Amino acid sequence: MTTTRHLLTGTELSRPELLAVLRRAHELKAQAPADGLPHPHSLDGRSVALIFHKPSTRTRISMEVGVRELGAHPLILRPDEMQLSRGESVKDTARVLSRHVAAVGIRTTADALLEELAAEGTIPVVNLLTDGHHPCQVAADLMTLQEAFPDRLADDGGFDDLHLAYVGDGNNMARSLALMGAIGGLRVTVVSPEGYTLGPGETTATLSSDPQTGVAGADVLYADVWVSMGDEDSDERRAALQGYGIDDALLDAAAPGAIALHCLPAHPGEEITEDVLYGARQRIWDQVENRRHAQKALLEWVLRAGPFADDA
């Protein structure tokens, strides 16, 4: 019996699997319909449910377009359209979805809901964002780093000679960069003020509280919003995170040729300056594009489709 694959944290992937997914993502990007080449319809005739409990721009667009590019039908489900909002259990929802669609992606709050959906259903579940993790974003980030630093990669495409410094709140983004980065060989430093850092027991990343020393030698500086959806202590957060924004001066303190990344949405003047966000020292808009292709490769991986069909 074949075990159902899920992508809940990104740690489900081994190093060879992660790098195979990234290789496939580059292939899919090269074959994108806009280039006039035939696109592989590895999910022809299937449907993928996409549940959005939170507002979304990049995830919604990249997933819906990506699912269609693979030949499948994206079924968009919002909270007010499902009986979950009226008290139906996650268990029953998982069983219903399992009878109709090939996989489900969900953007929600609690990781427990995601885990229950995976445990109670019989189809792959993909984490499109939770309070704890954001693996799809990191897959796109790693793909972007392979494009930006082709001469710095290991023989297998890994990141054994690359250093990324995340600057800001130790949130789901920092956690996923640390966890998945470690799988691919990326050296990660998380630079956060006291009270906003990752716990020492939940990551192998280097933890720092000083931006200048924390980014020293880093090839990549990574930013995320200071105040995310649902954060109630917004004024307190902004006060604590003053000085933890990416600007040209902080990039100058990193390694020569360092670039900036940001998972977006951005608030120029807080976690990143407008000059960096739209300037020549960033690859942020490549990240945006790569979300679609990385997610397509991840869908093929969880569904054992395309080049991953032999994994069954």
- Which residues are catalytic, by number? 107, 134, 137, 224, 263, 291
Residue type, 96: V
Q: How many CB atoms lie within 10 A of CB 285?
A: 13
- Specify the length of the chain in residues: 312
Rounded to a whole number of angstroms, the distance between the first and last alpha carbons of the chain is: 9
**Unique residue bearing structure tokens 């003047």:** 269
Residues 6+ apart with CB under 8 A from 267: 225, 226, 227
What is the four-CA torsion angle of 113, 115, 116, 117, rounded to 10 degrees? 80
Longest dimension (CA), the chain: 55
CA distance linking residue 43 with residue 59, whole number of Å: 19
300 Ramachandran zone, left/alpha/beta (phi>0; psi -120 to 50) = alpha
